[in-house]
Amino acid sequence: MATSNPVVRYLESRKNLTGSACGIAGLALSFTGAAGSLWPLIVVALYAAGALIAPPERTPPPPFPNAEEQLDALRSDFVTLRGYLAEIELPEGAAGRLAELDTLVDALLEPGWVSDPEHLHVLARAVRQDIPEAVDTFVRTRWWSRVAPGAVPPERHLERQLAALHEEAGQIAAALQDAEAIRQEAHTRYLEERGKS
């Protein structure tokens, strides 16, 4: 664990440890008599040489959350989104589209399915941005369409948006299905070939 105290950090550094090891070698030389009366200068010089040749400290990369941690946070956000959507009154067509999308996203967020970073990104964008924005825009536009009727009904736009999001999530589901089919086929081949040997 890294400390914030610069003195302690230097004492634990590679430069200090390498320099100290070289300085101890200089002390060993002085005890054998090889250093003579200049032994303090030799110890300091060896410490400095060791500190100079030591490899620099490597800063570790930041601990970003792994796929499972990202998925846990996304599941929590999905629960929050569901709470928001439960309070919104939608027309029957849009409510049906939203229910289909909800079922699909819920299935994709089950543990053990989505681990690809691109798929996680698409789902996170849908849950945290696209779905709430589509519904909120519908609610705001619906209010204005009551005041100024005659435009394209906002329900149509919402249904199209939800259909596009469903198609995007469906592509993830299809990719997962293909991956599982390939995995099953590979396992079948493995078992058949193992039985022949």
The tens place of each residue's pLDDT in the chain, 197 residues long, gives 556 788 888 888 888 888 889 888 888 888 887 777 888 888 888 888 888 888 887 777 888 888 888 899 999 999 999 999 999 999 999 999 999 999 999 999 998 888 888 999 999 999 999 999 999 999 988 876 665 666 677 889 999 999 999 999 999 999 999 989 998 999 998 888 887 86
DSSP-derived letter for residue 24 is H
* CB of 74 closer than 8 Å to CB of 109: yes
The rounded distance, in Å, linking the Cα atoms of 193 and 177 is: 24
What is the domain partition of the chain in residue ranges?
6-53, 67-196
pLDDT of residue 76: 95
* CB of 169 closer than 8 Å to CB of 104: yes
The whole-model pTM stands at: 0.66
pLDDT of residue 56: 80
Burial of 178 (0-12, 13-18, 19+ CB in 10 A): exposed
pLDDT of residue 68: 84
pLDDT of residue 149: 65
